[in-house]
C-alpha cells in the first residue's frame, strides 16, 4: 500500500511537485494504519509524528509524513471529511495528553486565517486523499492523510520560491484535473482547514476541530516577540 502511494505520486502528470520532490529525496515517510473510521492506530500515529519532527533533516528538503489506511470501505466526500476530522481531533487530543505544546507561530482556531494543526510543537497542514474525491489529484485507492510541515513553506516564502512552486502546481493541476481547485488559498488569507478534506465546502462550513487550553489566536506582536527572542 505504501508503494502504491509512491507510484501514484510518481505518475508523470501528478501535479504536486512538492510531493514529487519529497519522494525523490526519500523524505516522504509512510505508515500504514487500519482504518480512518477507527481510533485504533491514533496513538501510534501521534507517536510517529513526534519522532518525525525530531528527525535531523536538510533544511532545503521538502518533507511529509503520510498515513495510508488499509480499510477501503466506500465513502463519499462528506463521510471522508467527517472521518478525517475525527482522526485529526483524536490525535491532537493525544498530542496534548502527551504534554506537547501548540506551535505559537500559528493559530489553533480553525476559523483564523493563520490556523494550522500542531503536533510535537510543530505546525502542520493536512492533505486528504480517498477514492471518492471529486478532485483527480486527491483520488487515491485508499484513504490517506498527508502531514506537511508548515515551516518548510514559510522558508520557501522567505527564499521567494513559494509563488513559483505554487503557480507550477496550479498549472499542472489544471492539466491533470481539468480545473483549478476552488478551495486553494494562501496561508493568512483564509483558514487552511477548508482545504484539508478536498471537498469544496461552502461559506457556512464550520470546522469541527478544537484544541482545549489554547487561546486560538496568534497576533503580529506574538510573531515579532518570537523573532526578537530568537
Q: What's the pLDDT at 185? A: 58
Q: What is the largest distance, in Å, between two alpha-carbon atoms of the chain?
A: 50
- Checking if the pLDDT of 216 tops 70, the result is no
Q: Which residues contact 141 (CB under 8 A, 6 or more apart)?
A: 4, 8, 72, 131
> Is the confidence at residue 40, as pLDDT, over 70?
yes
pLDDT higher than threshold 80 for residue 67: yes
The average pLDDT across 67-84 equals 96
106 vs 162 pLDDT, higher one: 106
Instruction: Say what the pLDDT of residue 228 is.
Output: 40
Banded model confidence at residue 41, pLDDT cuts 50, 70, 90: very high
* Burial of residue 68, with CB atoms counted within 10 A of its CB: 0-12 exposed, 13-18 middle, 19 or more buried: buried
Phi, psi of 32 (to 5 degrees): -110, 130
Determine the average pLDDT of the residues in 111-125.
95
Per-residue model confidence as pLDDT tens digits over 42-61: 999 999 999 999 998 877 78
pLDDT score recorded for residue 184: 64
Over pLDDT 70: what percentage of the chain?
87
Q: How far is CA 4 from the centre of its chain?
A: 19
DSSP-derived secondary structure letter, 55: S
Instruction: Beginning with the edge strand found earlier in the chain, give each strand of the sheet holding 122-129 in spatial order.
Output: 28-33, 64-69, 144-149, 122-129, 117-119
Residue 115 neighbours by CB distance under 10 Å: 25
b/e for 185-218, b at 16 or more Cβ within 10 A?
eebeebbbbbbbbbbebeeeeebebebeeeeeeb
- Residue 186 banded pLDDT, cuts 50, 70, 90: low
Supply the pLDDT for residue 159: 66
Q: By C-alpha distance, which of 222, 217, 223, 220 is closest to 112?
A: 217
Write the pLDDT tens digit of every residue in 120-157.
Answer: 999 999 999 999 999 999 999 999 999 999 887 777 67
Handedness of CA 79, 123, 64, 136 (dihedral sign): positive
Dist. CA 9–CA 54, nearest whole Å: 25
Q: CB of 165 within 8 A of CB of 156?
A: yes
- pLDDT grade for 36, boundaries at 50, 70 and 90: very high
> What does the alpha-carbon distance between residue 203 and residue 179 come to, in Å, rounded to a whole number?
20
Whole-number pLDDT of residue 59: 74
In eight-state DSSP terms, residue 32 is E
Sequence-distant (≥ 6) Cβ neighbours of residue 26 within 8 angstroms: none
Amino acid at each position: 500500500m505504501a508503494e502504491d502511494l509512491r507510484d501514484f505520486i510518481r505518475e508523470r502528470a501528478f501535479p504536486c511537485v512538492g510531493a514529487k520532490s519529497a519522494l525523490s529525496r526519500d523524505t516522504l515517510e509512510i505508515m500504514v494504519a487500519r482504518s480512518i473510521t477507527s481510533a485504533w492506530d491514533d496513538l501510534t500515529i501521534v507517536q510517529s509524528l513526534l519522532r518525525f519532527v525530531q528527525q535531523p533533516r536538510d533544511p532545503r528538503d521538502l518533507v511529509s509524513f503520510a498515513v495510508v489506511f488499509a480499510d477501503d470501505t466506500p465513502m463519499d466526500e462528506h463521510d471522508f471529511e467527517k472521518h478525517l476530522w475525527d482522526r485529526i481531533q483524536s490525535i491532537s487530543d493525544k498530542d496534548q495528553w502527551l504534554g506537547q505544546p501548540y506551535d505559537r507561530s500559528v493559530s489553533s482556531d480553525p476559523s483564523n486565517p493563520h490556523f494550522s494543526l500542531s503536533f510535537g510543537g510543530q505546525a502542520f497542514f493536512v492533505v486528504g486523499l480517498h477514492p471518492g474525491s471529486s478532485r483527480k489529484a486527491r483520488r487515491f485507492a485508499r484513504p490517506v492523510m498527508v502531514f506537511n510541515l508548515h515551516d518548510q513553506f514559510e522558508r520557501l516564502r522567505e527564499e521567494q520560491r513559494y509563488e513559483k512552486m505554487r503557480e507550477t502546481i496550479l498549472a499542472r493541476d489544471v492539466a491533470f484535473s481539468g480545473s483549478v481547485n476552488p478551495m486553494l488559498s494562501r496561508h493568512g488569507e483564509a483558514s487552511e482547514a477548508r482545504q484539508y478534506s478536498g471537498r469544496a465546502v461552502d461559506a457556512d462550513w464550520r470546522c469541527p476541530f478544537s484544541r482545549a487550553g489554547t487561546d486560538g489566536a496568534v497576533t503580529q506582536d506574538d510573531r515579532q516577540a518570537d523573532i526578537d527572542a530568537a
